[in-house]
Every structure is written in structure tokens, then in C-alpha cells.
Structure 1
Amino acid sequence: MFALVVRFDLKDAEAAEGFDRLVEETANGIRELEPGTLVYATHTVADAPLSRVFYEVYRDREAFEEHERQPHTRRFLDERRDYTSDFRVEFLTPVAAKGLPG
């Protein structure tokens, strides 16, 4: 299993709307075309309307790399900078879980 969390800080309310549309389009491709993506959950953040957090779990590192090669993901990666002021990626090592494989 391979997991990560990403926090995006968005430029302003208009950017947040555009970012959310881009995320929905990207998530459609992930749901339809990525069997190795086990969890792809996007969240708004309470008391931080210009922040978004993604939680992603992949079958393994290769499934993550396949995700990164997909056209819908490439588009997201190319266009996200139009909406974001900053982002932070943290790769995770599961210790204890419910609902995750392995």
C-alpha cells in the first residue's frame, strides 16, 4: 500500500471554485480508469475556506506512478498552479487502520 496526503492553499474564492471544478473532472477519470487507486478523497477544511486536503491510497507504488501518468492527472498537475498559492505533500506509512487493505 502507498498513501499520501496533500494540502492545497487556494488564491481566492474564485480560484477555489475553479479548483473544485478541476478536482471533480479529475476524480471522474480516477473513478473510471484507475483500479489501483483505492481511496481518492478530497476535503474542504473547516474554518479554512481556501484550503483543500486530499487523502490518497494506492495499491502500491506502481499504482501511484500509473495514476501520475494518466491524462486526467497530468491535466490536474498542469492546471492546479492557476488556482493555488501553495501546496504540501506528505507521504504516509500506515500503522493501524480500519477499511484499508493489508
Structure 2
Amino acid sequence: MNESYGLVVRFTLRDADAAAAFDALVARTLEGIEAAEPGTLVYVSHRLHDEPLTRVFYELYADRASFDAHERQPHIQRFLAEREQYVSEVEVTFLDAVAGKVRAQQ
């Protein structure tokens, strides 16, 4: 587990229409992640119960190289460029794993 590389990203969205468009962009981006990123172990977008304009992503990669490969993917470059029109604030927190369970890659 100590080689894994994780982060949490908190997005504050501009309004309800932006939130819907952002969620659609995320769904399209996930198709690329699932098809082309074996080192991406977890990539989940969460909606907060009491904050409808907030999304929190939890991302876990096999290692730093897998994260770097993720960032270079065309679908991620497209996501990073397109998200700006929907987002008013982004907060990124990088994580060091202390303990936990990660399902083995298949």
C-alpha cells in the first residue's frame, strides 16, 4: 500500500446547470479512464448530501507513475480544459496512505 498515490479534489460548481454539465463531463471522462488506465485503482466522484453544488473526487493510483500517466491522457486533458466553465473553486489534497485495503488489480 505504501507505493500507492492518492488525492482528494473538492469542486465547487457555479450553479445547478453547471453541476449537471459537470456530472455529464465526468461520466464521459470515466469512459476513458476505464478503457485506458490500468494504474488508476479508484476514481470516484461524490455528491455531498447537503451541498448540491459540491463534488468531491477520491482518486487512488498504483503509484506516482500511474498518476502521471493519468494526467497525460487525452480524456483527462479534455476534462481539465472543459471543467473550467462549470467550476468556481477547486481544492486538491494529496494523500499518503497509512493503512487500508485496496483490491488487487485484475
TM-score band by shorter chain is over 0.9
Structure 2 equivalent of residue 45 of structure 1: 48
Once the two structures are TM-superposed, the CA of residue 100 in structure 1 deviates from its matched residue by 5.4
Once the two structures are TM-superposed, the CA of residue 49 in structure 1 deviates from its matched residue by 0.2
The one-letter code sitting in structure 2 at the alignment partner of 1:62 is A
Give the gaps of 5 or more residues in structure 1: none
Task: Indicate whether 1:96 and 2:93 are aligned.
Answer: no
**Which of 52, 74, 77 is the equivalent residue of 2:77?**
74
Task: Indicate whether 1:31 and 2:34 are aligned.
Answer: yes
Q: Deviations over 1:40-92 (max 9, x none)?
A: 11110110000000000001111001000000000000011100000100000
Structure 1 equivalent of residue 16 of structure 2: 13
Give the gaps of 5 or more residues in structure 2: none
TM-score by length of structure 2 reads 0.92
Give the fraction of aligned pairs with identical amino acids, expressed as a percent: 55
Q: In the aligned structure 2, how far is the partner of 1:100 from the partner of 1:52?
A: 24
TM-score by length of structure 1 reads 0.95
Q: In the aligned structure 2, how far is the partner of 1:22 from the partner of 1:2?
A: 24
Where has structure 1 moved over 3 Å in runs of 4 or more? none
Q: In the aligned structure 1, how far is the partner of 2:34 from the partner of 2:12?
A: 24
Report the RMSD for the aligned CA atoms in angstroms: 1.0
Aligned residue for 2:84, secondary structure, equals helix
The one-letter code sitting in structure 2 at the alignment partner of 1:8 is F
Once the two structures are TM-superposed, the CA of residue 98 in structure 1 deviates from its matched residue by 2.4
